[in-house]
């Protein structure tokens, strides 16, 4: 039997991608919730607080994920009460738009703790999730 682990919020509008992530994470005992956009993220954050947020970039708009990250990390913004929650940005924006980011070089406008390009192997995803949760 797998022990119950931390709660993870996945902000992802693609149902197939969400389901794949959910299966991988729940197989390791994590509980998972989904938000599809900014509004649903706010509702999810008002419920069970997540230990980690996995955040896509392209949601209802091409940059909505960036705005959600900004709202989580900027004092006075809507989601700042959760500013200490690690954010793993996971997106295909590099493939789709030719944009490549990293928290190290783009930290001023990409306030996340880690960045992965989709598609991501389950082992790589789990390693990054474990690393971020261990660093809290």
User: For all residues of the chain together, what is the average pLDDT?
Assistant: 88
Could you give phi then psi for residue 56, rounded to 5 degrees? -80, 165
Q: Is residue 91 part of a domain?
A: yes
Return the pLDDT at 63: 87
Read off the tokens for 18.
């969400």
- In percent, the amount of the chain with pLDDT more than 90 equals 74
| Domain hosting residue 75, numbered range | 7-103+113-119
Return the pLDDT at 109: 55
The structure tokens 């598609």 sit at 119
Q: How many domains does the chain have?
A: 1
Exposure b/e, 51-83, CB count within 10 A at least 16 = b: bbbbbbbbbeeeebbbebbbbbbeeeebbeebe
Q: Which residues of the chain have pLDDT under 50?
A: 1, 96, 98, 106-107
Return the pLDDT at 1: 45
pLDDT tens track for 27-65: 999 999 999 999 999 999 999 999 999 999 999 998 899
Residue 89 maps to which CATH number? 3.40.50.2300
Q: Is residue 72 part of a domain?
A: yes
Q: Is residue 24 part of a domain?
A: yes
Q: Is residue 68 part of a domain?
A: yes
Q: Is residue 66 part of a domain?
A: yes
Q: Is residue 134 part of a domain?
A: no
């Amino acid at each position: 039997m797998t022990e119950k682990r931390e709660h993870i919020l996945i902000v992802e509008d693609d149902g197939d991608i969400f389901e794949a992530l959910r299966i991988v994470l729940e197989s390791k005992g994590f509980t998972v919730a989904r938000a599809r956009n900014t509004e649903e993220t706010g509702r999810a954050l008002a419920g069970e607080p997540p230990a980690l947020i996995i955040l896509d970039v392209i949601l209802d708009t091409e940059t909505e994920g960036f705005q959600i990250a900004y709202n989580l990390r900027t004092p006075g913004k809507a989601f700042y009460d959760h500013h200490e929650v690690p954010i793993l940005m996971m997106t295909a924006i590099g493939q789709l738009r030719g944009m490549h980011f990293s928290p190290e070089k783009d930290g001023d406008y990409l306030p996340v703790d880690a960045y992965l390009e989709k598609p991501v192997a389950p082992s790589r995803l789990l390693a990054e999730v474990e690393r971020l949760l261990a660093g809290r």
